[in-house]
Structure 1
């Protein structure tokens, strides 16, 4: 699934945990591991990194470290492209005084402009564990089949135990369908019909995918998809949320909030953004 994984190295307090998490993924996918640091290279920093790699058994021809100078986002994106990276791993930040994780400016640029998939880890562990509880975005979008397919491929390799594909009733469709005067029973019937249609949409995708032994649940929500998806991930206590890329953002997207931003503003859990 991922032949080459890169870790964005920032020498933060979570560096060792991020290295351990990256090693876990490297072992699962049998990947090469690339470490990228944008900033000054000093003997002290080089020694810190080397000691951590040795400590966690990360020495050999499938490990490579690149030191760069310049704009962090641009250099990371450029390096990932030049090195044919499939997955970039980075840490999210917790706001001071609040149990809330957010994506900074550099990470946002990487998510938007990188060619590879991106995994944001909100609470990396030095003794990492599998992502047992996974939520996959099944909202009707151009890339939904790809997102579900790649999400389930990840779940099989990581042996996830509980999986939900979350779709939504389109609010405008529900409002239009119930706009005419009608009783409570008519509204309820309309809602059941719309829910059934969204379940069928996901089921038809699942029929085309090799699911192995995975047991997959379908959840239908009603509201703005990104908000409801994040809310469900919190309620479910998910270990990982998998979504697709919104593609290249146009001028209007930069002026007005877009759906993915609702998730990036307050991460509900670890976030994997899969890109083709």
Structure 2
């Protein structure tokens, strides 16, 4: 699934935990590991990194480390492109807050502009565990079949125990009925029909995928998909939320919260953004 994994390090208090998480993923996918640091390079930091890698059974001499200066997001993305990285792993603040939304954040820029998939870890562990409880976005979008396929591939390799694919009722159809003169029975029947259609949409995708022994549940919500997806991830106590990339956004999308921004603004859990 991933042949080269990059870890962005900033020598923050979570650096050791992020290294441990990256090592776990390296082993799961049989991937090579690349480290990227944007900032000062000096003997102290090199020795610190060497010590952390050796402590957790990783050889400093066998793992390539890129030291860069300049704009962190730009340099990280550039390094990932030049090194043909499949998955970029980075730490993230669980809540960014209103002010940071408008000035932007390194994490948000990386997610938007990177060509590879991105895993944002909100609470990395020094003794990592598998992501047992996984939520995958099943909302009808162009990339959804690919996202579900790759999400389930991840779940199989990581031995996830509980998986939900979350889809939404297209509210405009339901609102048209409720705005008319139909009675409660008609409204109820229409809701059941819309739910059935969304379940069928996901089931048809699942028929084309090798699911192995995974036990998959389908959850249908109503409302703004990203908000409902994040809320369900919180209620489910998910370890990992998997979504697709929305592609390039225009100027107005950057000024006003977009669908994925609802998730990025207040991460419900670890987040994997799958990109082709």
CA contact (8 A) 2:88 2:119 kept: yes
Q: Which whole-Å deviations, capped at 9, do the CAs of 1:101-141 have from their partners, x for residues lacking one?
A: x9961111100000000000010000000000000000000
The within-5 A match list for 1:1-276 is 1-59=1-59, 63-94=63-94, 105-276=105-276
2-side partners of 1:62 and 1:260: how far apart? 37
Question: TM-score w.r.t. structure 1 length?
Answer: 0.95
RMSD: 1.7
Higher mean C-alpha displacement, 181-190 vs 247-256: 247-256
Residues 158/248 of structure 1: CA separation in 2 closer, same or farther (3 Å cut): same
5+ residue gaps in structure 1?
Answer: none
CA contact (8 A) 1:178 1:190 kept: no
Q: Which whole-Å deviations, capped at 9, do the CAs of 1:59-117 have from their partners, x for residues lacking one?
A: 17762111001110100000000000000000112459x9xxx9961111100000000
5+ residue gaps in structure 2?
Answer: none
Q: Which whole-Å deviations, capped at 9, do the CAs of 1:28-61 have from their partners, x for residues lacking one?
A: 0000000000001011111100100011111177
CA contact (8 A) 2:94 2:266 kept: no
> What is the number of equivalent residue pairs in this alignment?
272
Deviation at 1:167, TM superposition (A): 0.1
SS of the residue 2:173 aligns to: helix
2-side partners of 1:26 and 1:94: how far apart? 24
CA contact (8 A) 2:95 2:265 kept: no
